[in-house]
Amino acid sequence: MAQLWGGRFTKKTDEKVYAFNASIGFDQRFFHEDVEGSRAHVKMLAKQGILTEEERDQILVGLDGIEKDVDVGKLLITEAYEDVHSFVEANLIDRIGDVGKKLHTGRSRNDQVALDMRLYTRNRVEGTDQYLKKLLECILRVMEENIDTIMPGFTHLQKAQPITLAHHMGAYFEMFYRDRQRMADIRKRMNYCPLGSGALAGTTYPLDRNYTAELLGFDGPTTNSMDGVSDRDYLIEYLAALSTVMMHLSRFSEEVILWNSNEYQFVEIDDAFSTGSSIMPQKKNPDIAELVRGKTGRVYGALMALLTTMKGIPLAYNKDMQEDKELAFDAMDTTDACIDLFEGMLSTMTFRKDKMRESARHGYTNATDAADYLVKKGVPFRDAHGIIGQVVLYGIENHKPIDDMTLAELHQFSDVFDQDIYDAISMETCVDTRLTIGAPGREAMAQEIEKCRAALRD
Ligand code: ARG
């Protein structure tokens, strides 16, 4: 048991208490951030004359040595230490002797852990952003290749109007683009350095908090030391943003699962991204999409857990806050892996353009356009709606899309129908005449794609 405290205790810590209290099992994740923070701290202490330059250099050499030894596996981070902070400090003292005991001058583990977690989270926010960028690039490629791929658009999971695959993908581009914007917002708002907040009330040493913040790439120090040690808002925001990413991925997964089913056959998931059944030889299952959909729950769980942990904590630091780590780490790992796997599945998936087009053609998705055709010929919309309703009923009874009916058949419902009806309700016309901003028509889509390209450039 290596602990940084004990002077005022008369008994050894109970073993179960020690294990229950320890965080080394999970906070070793930010070992590098802990060392980085300590480097900045000693540099600042020396600049302020609190440590001599010689002491600073000895400590820096010691920290470098510990980092290198851990990286090559020569020094193991073990349960013998209470937490990663104790591990670094104890090893520093072992290595460079008494001067190592000066590292913690003007610092508390409260502002130290607040710093480490923030540095670690900042890296992870940037990492998630890069995974999202790669996914967006993949979605954009599918859009570029499918401006003319006609498919049914759905509402209530009922075929509604023809759209294109590019248009459908474009909706997901927007979602994941907003997710990237959320990452950027979080990074900006969180980028203030809590180190120097001390245990809660700052310190009596003349610390230069601006300098420490600058060394660690922050935009400045946090403003209030009590908030500095007890703020985990940035992590809650990140978990909320990850939950939103997962919600988007889950919707997308659900569609891939439907599209990949025997009933739809709009897509075929690549063999490398599918799995088989142990009993049914014919099966090729969309497990990746299902797992992504399923893992959404545990990411939401991490968000709810942290919100709940934080809700009753009085100022300033309380040990409850150690619970900010494990589930948050799991949510970060899970979400990044899901984005990555989903991108792999999407980039290798085959789109069955013929099936999509046939599905759009056979679902009366051009009924609105047929009604609009009558309106353009002078029929009031409500009447046109009724006429086409009857045409559709006739089609259903006779297993015929409107396009396949003869003019004589159409004249049973209205004599306004003319030869030009066929062109007016072709799938191509239905899509290409939808030209308002954000619509699937070729011109509108080309502009949308241009915007998406630009969004990925900056
Ligand atoms: N392991 C602790 C945590 O994660 C570090 C801070 C400990 N501070 C304290 N006052 N016991 O929150």
DSSP notation for 38-84 = HHHHHHHHHHTTSS-HHHHHHHHHHHHHHHHHHHTTSS---TTBSSH
Distance 129 CA to ligand 1 centre (A): 29
User: Is 85 designated active site?
Assistant: no
For the whole prediction, is pTM greater than 0.85? yes
End-to-end CA distance of the chain: 50
Specify the long-range contacts of residues 387-396, CB closer than 8 Å, at least 24 apart.
387/413, 387/414, 391/367, 392/364, 392/367, 395/364
Tokens matching residue 113:
């852990």
Q: Which helix (H) or strand (E) holds 350?
A: strand 350-351
Token pair recorded at residue 55: 């002491």
- In this structure, the strands spanning 267-268 and 150-155 are unpaired
How far apart are alpha carbons 249 and 251 in whole angstroms?
A: 6
Distant-in-sequence, close-in-space partners of 57: CB < 8 Å, separation ≥ 6: none
Distance 319 CA to ligand 1 centre (A): 6
Please tell me which residue in 243, 253, 277, 426 is annotated as part of the active site: 277
Binding site membership of 23 for ligand 1 (Cβ less than 6 Å): yes
The answer to whether the CB of 321 is under 6 A from ligand 1 is yes
Regarding the beta carbon of 322 and ligand 1, being less than 6 Å apart is answered yes
Contact 30, 119 (CB under 8 A): yes
As a whole number of angstroms, the distance between CA 42 and CA 186 comes to 28
Asked if residue 244 lies in contact with residue 334, where contact means CB atoms within 8 angstroms, the answer is: no
Question: Which residues of the chain are modeled with pLDDT < 50?
Answer: none
Place of tokens 């060392």: 35
Whole-number Å distance between alpha carbons of 85 and 65? 16
Contact call for residues 194 and 167 (beta carbons, < 8 A): no
Tell me, in angstroms, the distance from the centre of ligand 1 to residue 231's CA. 13
Query: Does ligand 1 come within 6 angstroms of the Cβ of 230?
Result: no
Q: How many residues does the chain have?
A: 458
Distance from residue 323's CA to the centre of ligand 1 (Å): 10
Residues near 373 by beta carbon (within 8 Å), at least 6 away in sequence:
421, 424, 425
Q: Which two tokens stand for residue 172?
A: 């997901």
Which of 34, 109, 320, 326 has most ligand 1 atoms within 8 Å of CB, for mutation? 109
Whether the Cβ atoms of residue 153 and residue 162 lie closer than 8 Å to each other: yes
pLDDT for the residue numbered 92: 98
Q: Which of 38, 85, 156, 167 is catalytic?
A: 156
277 annotated active-site: yes
Ligand 1 site, residue 91, Cβ cutoff 6 A: no
How far is Cα 213 from Cα 34, in angstroms, rounded to an integer? 14
Taking the C-alpha atoms of residue 152 and residue 132, their distance in angstroms, rounded to an integer, is 27
Find out whether the beta carbon of 83 lies less than 6 Å from any atom of ligand 1.
yes
Map residue 138 onto helix, strand or coil. Answer: helix
- Specify the pLDDT at position 1: 63
Q: How far apart are CA 97 and CA 59, in angstroms?
A: 10
Q: Are strands 267-268 and 158-164 parallel, antiparallel or unpaired?
A: unpaired
In whole angstroms, give the CA distance from residue 243 to residue 186: 14
DSSP per-residue letters across 353-377: HHHHHHHHHTTTTTHHHHHHHHHHT
Report whether residue 124 contacts ligand 1, using a CB cutoff of 6 Å.
Answer: no
Ligand 1 within 6 A of CB of 110: yes
**What per-residue confidence (pLDDT) applies to 458?**
75
Phi, psi for residue 217 in degrees, rounded to 5: 75, 25
DSSP3 helix / strand / coil % (the chain, rounded to 5): 65, 5, 30
Q: How far is the CA of 222 from the centre of ligand 1 (A)?
A: 19
Mutate to test the pocket of ligand 1, among 26, 77, 110 (most ligand atoms within 8 A of CB): 110
- Residue minimizing CA distance to atom 2 of ligand 1: 322
pLDDT attached to residue 7: 81
Residue carrying the six token digits 């070992």: 31
